[in-house]
Structure 1
Amino acid sequence: MQRPLAAALLSAAALVLTACSGTAEAARDTRAPTPPTGVTALAGSATSVHVMWSAATDDRAVTGYTVYRHGHPVKDLPAGTLMTDVTGLGPATAHTFTVRARDAAGNVSPDSAAVTATTPAATAEDHTPPTRPTALRAAPAGPDAATLSWRPARDDTRVTAYDVYQSGARVHTVPGTATTARVTGLRPATAYSFTVRARDAAENSSPDSGPAALTTPNAPGARPATAPTAVSAKAARGSVTLTWTPPRTGATPVKEHQLYLNGTFATTIVWGAEPPPGPVTYTLTVPATPGVPYALTLRARLPDGTWGDFSAPCTVVTV
């Protein structure tokens, strides 16, 4: 009796294994992502090129990108990164780039369209950075984009590129002949702060321009804007005083905010009674060390208990 039972158990196990194998086979991902589109290449200096592209698509998810120069891989990047600088290049040389997308199963897309950028000639012993761009302005270009404009910088040789920064992180690069840029991939009803730097062929970068802030409009049918607005800061010895306007949430006032310092949670601000109408203020104690920059952002707890959007960063330097 034991042998037939053992045989039956082995047969059942074989059936289970066959079923599992069939399920795994059916679940295998064999479809490659689409090739990245909108690839551009811009020589930022005599030895570097800035490559950008639009996201590829996949039936599951794109997990990363590889940038190729003349058919050889030079950069591997995660899925959320859609631009990179390729450095260590030869000056006064044409360089051709393509980009491929990959997914978690190892499927790789075809090459993107090839783009070529020519690096400028090297400038010997150039250690002088360009002047800062001035009169930076930012305007919404729909709920997910912004248009920036500025007055050009000056350089003892020439400006080869302008780098656009959003809250301290570079998000775009345009040629040195441009004085405008379009930044995409923004969120509706969200506050942003931008600065611009000029760069020359020797990789000298200017100081930041003055900041330009904007709030993107709501997408059609989206919820109202929930970020605090009109945020300003004033530094004193050992303290920073913030002033802002809480978001409008109907008849229920906002009584609680979170304050972040340089991107890290610092404290919760709570009004035990009815908060004052209009702008509100809060004083934060900081180390009494002069010349320290702080980027401060706020978000409000909404009447439904969730946290709203972050305000645009407000930067202040201790005195």
Structure 2
Amino acid sequence: MPRTPRLAGSLALLTVVAGAALGGCARGGQDERHDTTPPAAPRGLTVQAGSATTAHVMWNQATDDTGVTGYEVYRDAKKVKEVPSGKHMVDIVGLRPATTYAFTVRARDADGNVSPDSRRLSVTTPAAAAADHKPPTPPARLRGRAEGSRSAMLTWDKSSDDRGVASYEIYQGSSKIHSVGGGQTATLVTGLRPGTHYTFTVKARDAADNFSDAGPKLRLTTAAGKDSGRGTAPTAFRAATHRADGAYYIDLSWRPPRTGGAVTEYQIRLDGRTATSLVFGGTAPTDKADHSFYIGRKAGERHRIQVRPKLPDGTWGAYSPERTVTTG
């Protein structure tokens, strides 16, 4: 190949630079920029064993400066599912009975940026039921009521099965929207729209993946207008202070909202800002919850406090009414 003269090489470089500048003008005089900021990690992850070989994974919509285009679901360290941005739940199949699995979810944007992992949750599938081809009976007497404009409380009668019910699947129209354990016969459905008619049904599922027929339909209408989702807020919220060893503490008590399941996590808001998250280990309180935390050593300080629950479907409920306390 003939050697390129030095002057010609300089002209070639100038041509490339000029071409880049002209290309920039063709785009309106702005340089093309690629998004390098990853989405936020998905929050509100919940995992429920649906049968001996399946698990139902749900999460909240993640945020991104240019928009989330999809989600990646990981079982342990292996990616097992990709779903589009409009979906926030998926059934993972092909699991082994009586086995513990850990799940995480990541969000992805249009430029391929991937978020950090969601929190990691583990679930254990029930033992297999040998040669079980008999489905559970349909859940009877589905009933419920709208809880304000954006949620509804559903309850139903327990299904029967020769080997036991593993889970209940909740449907809005023909779409599955939630799954709860076989020992639960109520759930709070969130994310509804104000002044809207809804039709719900429930199916029972056993460990061998036999589904019952849908139980009776429930039709209800959410309240019109906006509200704070007060039906999902803790009630009987109280706040006081006490002094011990020269320091002051704030004492809280409340009744958990009715959700059909246990509420294990709460967020405490202090003086208009999120102060901490409270997670109950072991058995979460169902009738009355109590919590006390250090606030400082100075008397006469005034503080405003609220608390809100994380609901079983992974979304945050409404804040309790605000209470005001003064140290000392």
The TM-score with structure 2 as length reference comes to: 0.62
Secondary structure of the structure 2 residue equivalent to 1:16? helix
Q: Does 1:63 align with 2:99?
A: no
Structure 2 equivalent of residue 154 of structure 1: 160
The residue aligned with 2:131 is 125
Secondary structure at the counterpart of residue 21 of structure 2 = helix
2:146 maps to 140
Query: Secondary structure of the residue that 1:138 maps to in structure 2?
Result: strand
Between the aligned partners of 2:147 and 2:173, the Cα distance in structure 1 is 19
Q: What residue number does 1:180 align with?
A: 186
Identity of aligned residues (%): 50
Residue segments in structure 1 that go unaligned for 5+ positions in a row:
1-9, 222-319
Cα deviation, residue 19, structure 1: 5.0
Aligned to 2:215: 209
Q: Which residue of 2 aligns with 1:314?
A: none
Say whether 1:47 aligns with 2:53: yes
Which of 55-64 and 108-117 deviates more?
Answer: 55-64
Contact 2:129 2:207 in 1 (8 A): yes
Figure out how many residues of one structure are paired with residues of the other and give that number. 214
Matched, 1:23 2:30: yes
Aligned partner letter, 2:164? R
Residue 279 of structure 1: aligned partner: none
Q: Which amino acid aligns with 1:23?
A: Q
Q: Mark the CA change 1:14 to 1:109 in structure 2 (over 3 Å): closer, same or farther.
A: closer
Is 1:89 aligned with 2:100?
A: no
* Structure 2 match to 1:165: 171
Aligned residue for 2:129, secondary structure, equals: coil
Note the C-alpha offset of 1:137.
0.9
Q: How does 1:1-319 map to 2 (within 5 A)?
A: 13=19, 15-18=21-24, 23-25=30-32, 27-220=33-226
> How far is 1:138 from its partner?
2.3
1:267 paired residue number: none
Q: How much has 1:15 moved relative to structure 2?
A: 3.1
Q: 1:65 to 1:180 in 2, by over 3 A?
A: same
The one-letter code of the counterpart of 2:64 is: D
- Whole-Å separation in 2 of the counterparts to 1:95 and 1:20: 52
Q: Match for 1:93: what amino acid?
A: T
Q: CA deviation at 1:40?
A: 1.1
2:219 partner letter? A
Q: Distance in 2 between matches of 1:80 and 1:14?
A: 38
Compared with structure 1, are the counterparts of its residues 141 and 30 closer, same or farther at alpha carbon in structure 2 (3 Å cutoff)? same
Q: 1:145: how far off? A: 1.5
Between 1:133-142 and 1:191-200, the stretch displaced more is 133-142
Unaligned runs of 5+ in 2: 1-14, 228-328
**What is the alpha-carbon distance in structure 2 between the residues aligned to residue 14 and residue 173 of structure 1?**
54
Find the aligned partners of 1:165 and 1:156 in 2 and give their Cα distance: 24
Change (3 A) 1:20 1:215: same
Structure 1 CA distance for aligned equivalents of residues 146 and 117 of structure 2? 33
**CA-atom RMSD, angstroms?**
2.3
The one-letter amino acid of 1:15's match is: A
Which piece of structure 1 moves more, 181-190 or 105-114?
181-190
